[in-house]
Amino acid sequence: MVSIQEKLNLLIFRVDENTHISIDKSKCAVCRERPCLFFCPAGLFTLSGEEVLHSYEGCLECGTCYLACEQKAVSWQYPRGGYGVLYRQS
């Protein structure tokens, strides 16, 4: 079994200094299910104590998070042009 981080390490990312994903933590605080901890194919949503944390650097740009978050807590837009994941053979 390879970890998700090892899978992401195979990819090239042009990382912007600004995030393209933001979450409304007040909504996360009241969310019981927190499906984001599971559904993200890059595993970008993690738990620190009781707080949901997220990162954007390894985003695969599928859009699952903004669609599947029942609290509508995730704001997601495309990264700036030329930034983000750079697929070469998918």
Partner 1 sequence: MRRKEHFDAVVVGAGPAGSTAALVMARAGLRVALLERGEYPGAKNVSGAVLYGTSFLERLLPGFRLSAPVERYITRRSIGFMSESALFSLDYKSSSADVPPNYGFTVLRPQFDRWLAQRAVEAGALLVPKTVVDGLIREKGAVKGVRSRREKGELYADVVVAADGVNSFLAREAGLRGEFSLQEMTLGIKEVIALDRQLLEERFQINGNEGVAYEFLGSVTGNVCGGGFLYTNRESLSIGIIFQLSSLLRERARPYELLDGLKNHPSILPLIRGGSVKEYSAHMIPEGGWKMFPKLYAPGLLVAGDAAGMVLAAGCYLQGINYAMVAGEAAARTVIAAAKDRDFSALSLARYETFLREQKLIQDFQRFQKAPEFFLNQRIQNVYPAMICRLAEQVFHAAGGPKEKIRDLAAAGMREAGVSWFQLLKDLIEGGRSIGW
The residues that touch partner 1, with contacts defined as CB under 8 A, are: 1-2, 4, 7-8, 10-11, 14, 33, 35, 38-39, 41-43, 60-64, 67-68, 77-82, 84-90
Q: Alpha carbon 69 to chain centroid distance?
A: 12
CB of 73 to partner 1, least distance (A): 14
Least CB distance from residue 88 to partner 1, whole Å? 5
Nearest distance from C-beta of residue 2 to partner 1, angstroms: 7
What is the C-alpha to C-alpha distance for residues 84 and 60, in angstroms, rounded to an integer?
A: 8
The length of the chain in residues reads: 90
Q: Among 36, 37, 19, which residue's Cα sits nearest to residue 72?
A: 36
